[in-house]
Amino acid sequence: MRTYDLIVLGGGPAGAHAAIMGAELGLDVLLMDENDAAGGQVWRAPGGAFREAPCGVDAKKGSALRSRLAASAVSCRLSRRVWLVERGFTVCAIGPEGAEQARSQALIVATGAVERHVPVPGWVLPGVMGLAAATVLLKSARVLPGKRVVVGGAGPLLPAVANAILSGGGRVAAVVDANPIGAWLANGANLLMRPDLFLRGAGWIGRVRGAGVPWHFGHTIRRIDGKGSVGEVHVGRVSVEWEPAPGPELTVVCDAVCMGFGLIPSTDVVRLLGAAHSWNPALGGWVPVTDADQTTSVERLYACGDGAGVLGAASAPLGGMIAALAAARDLGRITVAEFERRTGVLRKQFARASRFGRAMARLTAPRLGAASAIAKEAEVCRCEGLTRAALDQAIADGAVTVNDLKAATRCGMGPCGGRICEDAAQLLIAAATGRDRAEIQPATPRPPLRPVAIAALGGPFDYGSLPMAEPAPL
């Protein structure tokens, strides 16, 4: 097994910049990513034969980054599914050639974020997908989610997805935005910290509204109906805290729904390694505790990008570079003075870019009121088919932590490992027990971090491979 100075997990804007910076500082760097190209979600590579045919700002940035990475001394292992990380650090992954491991002195975790969902009845129907999933379809495959799409939830992905559907020649039946229009406007000063991004976002919204698409501010999708797949959605008013509010219910006919309520930092790896975490709704929920140089509470373990707190793709590269400089400092490759000198400018840029990211994250900060929007019959744990009523019953019976709820109901124990439902489970426990969300810890992290086949771990194996012990002497 090869030992590197530094392993970077995640090849998005944060991780790729961390890896390149690490290599420039003379470190022996390995970058691993689940996808077959670096770029992460925002700077995602167009898939298959579309690859490197840039269209749009993000695709061009992604292309430039992939070229820089290819020209750098970074060793890249793509299409790798990391399923276990141990202190020390040892990374275990499944790649195209099967199981593999690598060791490193320092580890930078840049694993990005997953989408937050507020379950509604019917959200398990085929044709319903996350906003993030829609961006993958639209960017990588250039396929529309449906012929008549409802885009719902909260935050910047609403205009991004609606605009991408329209640009691709599709139809958006409605945008259902949990936030009132005032929530978008309240952040004006911070949004102007990045006038380019502000104008792009404003352009998306203008284009969607200009196309005559109804934009229902202060509304959420209450129910999705259809036979076999999506047929219509029922939309109702919500308060600023996303609680259902009185008012007429609208019905919108559609064949696809793209929904999501912002992003949750993916903290599986850092939690598995025992790093301290804290509840920070402004950054998307549970985040690793880091200091100004992206260092976690575990020695030589760093977190950056959305996985360290959702601040978006504008600040992620800066966080990644700071993390790499911190790793080089801690490995004795650069002096503390050199570290301070080089991070000075980066920190200022990071703070500036973060103000834009924070303003966006504020639009999707988890709201306690969302708990009252989850209907009794809504399947919260999609894998196990567990409704809110079933979870509420278990909570009333004493399951007051996520671990309790897992043990009592199997919530979060299906194939997704709780990655889709755990946030909602935490929310329901907080709401039912009247506690702050900061008191509801995530479930104890357990490998495998991704589903892996036992056959893939074992490799080719037959009877002759069994180790046979010497017979005991009679």
Partner 1 sequence: MVGLRMKEEKARPVRFWFDNEEVEAFEGETVAAALVAAGMRGFGRNRATGARRGIFCAMGLCQECIVLMDGHVVEACRLPVCAGLEVRSV
Residue 112 vs 244, nearer CB to partner 1? 112
124 is an interface residue for partner 1 by CB under 8 A: yes
> Radius of gyration of the chain from Cα atoms?
23
Q: Which of 62, 122, 130, 320 binds partner 1 (CB under 8 A)?
A: 130
Contact 224, 392 (CB under 8 A): no
| Smallest separation, CB 55 to partner 1 (Å) | 8
113 is an interface residue for partner 1 by CB under 8 A: no
**Sequential DSSP letters for 266-320:** --HHHHHTT--EEEEGGGTEEEE---TT-B-SSTTEEE-GGGGS---TTTHHHHH
What's CA 18's distance to the chain center, in Å? 18
**φ, ψ for residue 32, nearest 5 deg:** -120, 140
Q: Which of 2, 60, 87, 147 binds partner 1 (CB under 8 A)?
A: 147
Residue 92 vs 106, nearer CB to partner 1? 92
Contact string (CB under 8 A) for partner 1, positions 65-104, x = contact? ----------------x-----------------------
Binding positions for partner 1, 370-399, rule CB under 8 A: 382-385
**DSSP 8-state code for residue 137:** I
450 is an interface residue for partner 1 by CB under 8 A: yes
13 is an interface residue for partner 1 by CB under 8 A: no
54 is an interface residue for partner 1 by CB under 8 A: no
Half-sphere exposure (Cβ direction) of 326: Cα atoms closer than 13 Å: 26
Cis peptide, bond prior to residue 89, ω within 30 of zero: yes
Binding positions for partner 1, 419-448, rule CB under 8 A: 419-420
128 is an interface residue for partner 1 by CB under 8 A: yes
Binding positions for partner 1, 399-418, rule CB under 8 A: 414-416
Contact 129, 117 (CB under 8 A): no
**Sequential DSSP letters for 10-79:** --SHHHHHHHHHHHHTT--EEEE-SSSSSSTTTTPPPPGGGTT---SHHHHHHHHHHHHHHHSS-EEE-S
Q: Which of 5, 58, 115, 422 binds partner 1 (CB under 8 A)?
A: 115
Region of 135-143, 187-195, 280-288, 317-325 interacting with partner 1 (CB under 8 A):
135-143
Residues that bind partner 1 (CB under 8 A): 34, 36, 41, 47-51, 53, 55, 81, 114-115, 124-130, 132-134, 136-137, 140-147, 168-170, 228-230, 382-385, 414-416, 419-420, 450-451, 453, 455
